[in-house]
Amino acid sequence: MRRRAVDWTHTLDAGARLPPEDPERALAELAETVAAHPTWTVLSGAGLSTESGIPDYRGPSGVRRSSDPMAFDDFCTSADARRRYWARSHLGWRRIGSAHPNAGHRAVAELQRRGRVGGVVTQNVDGLHQAAGSTGVIDLHGTLDVVVCLDCGSRSDRVELERRLTEANPGFDQLGEDVRRVNPDGDVELDEEQEQRFRTVPCLVCGSDRLKPDVVFFGESVPKDRVERAYAELDRDRGLLVLGSSLSVMSGYRFVRHAARQGYPVVIVNQGATRGDREADLLVWLPLGRALPGVVERLSEKTE
């Protein structure tokens, strides 16, 4: 495939977002490119979930944190850090837990059903690919709906933990009515006084207070087996379709580098520049909720 960035997306050296001159032409080119390769591995990021009400950090709908993300070492060693995390995550869960798949998630599931998408690898922790019907999803960074005890290893359902946290903190949920900022990893911004009011709950198996959502924290490595499975999917499908990821962290960018080294086609659909733009064969700056259903529609027209 000829490596290119065309005038209706942006130039490789663009320092700011440039709107497509002809979105319909961009969409047609994207559909033709997807149709030209038998099967794609999808790598999705936070930009795919923004239309479900979950913001990202770097795209047009993103937010900037006023505090650093929770570090794994701090969480493991400090009861205060765990209390701070769970206070914020408890209030943020209502947004994450109630989110529904959007048109982009459903389009990925439909493309997989038709055999155009093979593997689905996501950097998101919201479970929306599975809710939309995608199968065999590799949750690179884990999922927020499962809780693991760091001491005994027992796993439990997030909904049950949230029920216990609510009972242990009467009236705390009312703070959520005023929360306007929810981060992609499911927590919110609170002041120190609000955090200190919060009470955590213990593991029901061993009594430890070291309960953690089954997600990869800052400073923690993605489990090796997940990375190997994702590489295996990519090597099977031999094409990479990046959806809504800035590729700023190596956990996602490494798959772009691998695809480029192997000569696999790389297509990036994102509303902003990405770290992988120079390795891409095609760059498209369109909202995913519009672009992906448009691809499905055009592929349907080709088979009629």
pLDDT in tens, 152-205: 999 999 999 999 999 999 988 877 555 545 665 666 777 788 888 999 999 999
Residue 243 to residues 69, 152, 156: CA-CA distances in angstroms?
23, 37, 30
Residues whose CB falls within 8 Å of the CB of residue 221, separated by 6 or more in sequence, listed in order: none
Asked if residue 290 and residue 155 are part of one domain, the reply reads no
Asked if residue 153 and residue 39 are part of one domain, the reply reads no
- To the nearest 10°, report the CA torsion of 213, 217, 223, 227: 110
Query: Residue 127 in contact with residue 52, Cβ under 8 Å?
Result: no
Structure confidence at residue 173 (pLDDT): 81
Active-site residue, 90 included:
no
Domain that holds residue 201: 72-99+144-215
Asked if residue 267 and residue 288 are part of one domain, the reply reads yes
Structure confidence at residue 67 (pLDDT): 53
What is the distance between the terminal CA atoms of the chain, rounded to a whole angstrom?
26
List the binding residues for NAD(+): 123-126, 244-246, 270-272, 288
Asked if residue 277 and residue 176 are part of one domain, the reply reads no
pTM of this prediction exceeds 0.85: yes
Q: Give the separation between CA 174 and CA 28, rounded to whole angstroms.
A: 48
Any alpha helices (H) in 169-223, and if so which ranges?
Answer: 192-196
Longest Cα–Cα distance in the chain: 62
Asked if residue 255 and residue 203 are part of one domain, the reply reads no
Q: How many domains in the chain?
A: 2
List the binding residues: 123-126, 149, 152, 203, 206, 244-246, 270-272, 288
* Sequence letter at residue 285: W
Beta strand pairing status for 40-44 and 240-243?
parallel
Of these residues, 10, 37, 90, 141, which one is catalytic?
141
When pLDDT is averaged across residues 83-108 and rounded to a whole number, the result is 92
Beta bridge partner(s), residue 43: 121, 242
Asked if residue 275 and residue 200 are part of one domain, the reply reads no
Asked if residue 280 and residue 158 are part of one domain, the reply reads no
Average pLDDT of every residue of the chain: 87
List the binding residues for Zn(2+): 149, 152, 203, 206
221: nearest Cα among 188, 187, 249, 256: 249
Does any domain span residue 187?
Answer: yes
Does any domain span residue 83?
Answer: yes
Asked if residue 148 and residue 136 are part of one domain, the reply reads no
Question: Looking at 197, 215, 233, which one is the last position of a domain?
Answer: 215
Q: In what order do the strands lie in the sheet with 282-284?
A: 138-139, 117-122, 40-44, 240-243, 266-269, 282-284
Q: Give the separation between CA 248 and CA 58, rounded to whole angstroms.
A: 9
Q: What is the pLDDT of residues 221-269, one digit of tens each?
A: 999 999 999 999 999 999 999 999 999 999 999 999 999 999 999 999 9
Q: What is the CATH number of the domain that holds 111?
A: 3.40.50.1220
Q: Give the separation between CA 18 and CA 275, rounded to whole angstroms.
A: 17
- Residue 15: burial class (beta carbons within 10 Å; 0-12, 13-18, 19+): exposed
Asked if residue 162 and residue 89 are part of one domain, the reply reads yes
The dihedrals phi and psi of 175, each to the nearest 5 degrees, come to -60, -30
